[in-house]
Amino acid sequence: MDQAVKLIECPRDAMQGWKEIIPTARKVEYLNALLKVGFDTLDCGSFVSPKAIPQMADTKAVIPLLDLSGSRTKLLTIIANERGAADALAFDQITYLGFPFSVSETFQQRNTNSSIAESLGRVGEIQNLCIKSGKQLVVYISMGFGNPYGDPYDPEIVFEWVDKLVAMDIGIISLADTVGLATPEQVASMTKYLVDKLPATEIGVHLHSTPFNQQAKLEAAVQAGCRRFDGALKGIGGCPMANDELVGNMNTEWMIPYFEQLGRLPALNKAALHHCSMLADEIFTGH
């Protein structure tokens, strides 16, 4: 079998834009069920302003209630500044801190209330905190394939910022198609460039997509040598700061048989997955 891929399940991304507040107990039930499936990582919450993302205001209450016993899955939470990082670092259960680093000036201001240059400084400070605490920082390149605001964009702009991040010893960098603008050709060329240029860095993709082009985007990333893939059950989610409700996450339930067919699916508990799928139906569709 070819080398198995890493599947990062992102219920945080699915939940954060949901208009109805999901009760804390319901989130805990869902996350604990997901921990039994066998995903590499669970993007389970965020330590950001509750005014900006009210759905995630209870992350501090959720984390202590997660049962990691018997699970190989590691926890990731999103942070946007040093204060959020300090909150996340207080939890031994959390392995990864995820920082959304946008190459769009407009989106970086909207998402983290800072400029790109200021955010690079934040990344440096947070990286130092992670090193001291034995955690690992994952940097997401938001708007990595273009932006809808008219901000300057070119793949070379992305690569220049990535070079600065790599100079800080950021070990995991994920290209994010925040509003689903990427073409399969873009995904292929940009992912391959980073995979080939940065063999010591784990390159991932966090692709948002409409159903009609998700397979082409996924295939492009696979063929480019990517091994780290973000998704969410039911394909729900997307960034609420991007104001695009039509574009969702890659659907994990579609990705799993795709990677299984390629012989690159990690060992998963299919019964636990089925249970999670039913819970997702209840939470997100009311069925």
More confident residue, 57 or 1: 57
Q: Where are the domains of the chain?
A: 6-284
* Overall pTM surpassing 0.85 (yes/no): yes
pLDDT tens digits for range 43-79: 999 999 998 899 999 999 999 999 999 999 999 999 9
State both tokens at 13.
């991304």
Output the CA torsion sign for 60, 62, 65, 68. Answer: negative
State both tokens at 48.
């950001």
96: closest CA among 20, 40, 53, 163?
Answer: 40
- CATH class as words, domain 6-284: alpha beta
pLDDT tens digits for range 202-218: 999 999 887 778 899 99
Q: Is 242's pLDDT higher than 50?
A: no
Q: Is 263's pLDDT higher than 60?
A: yes
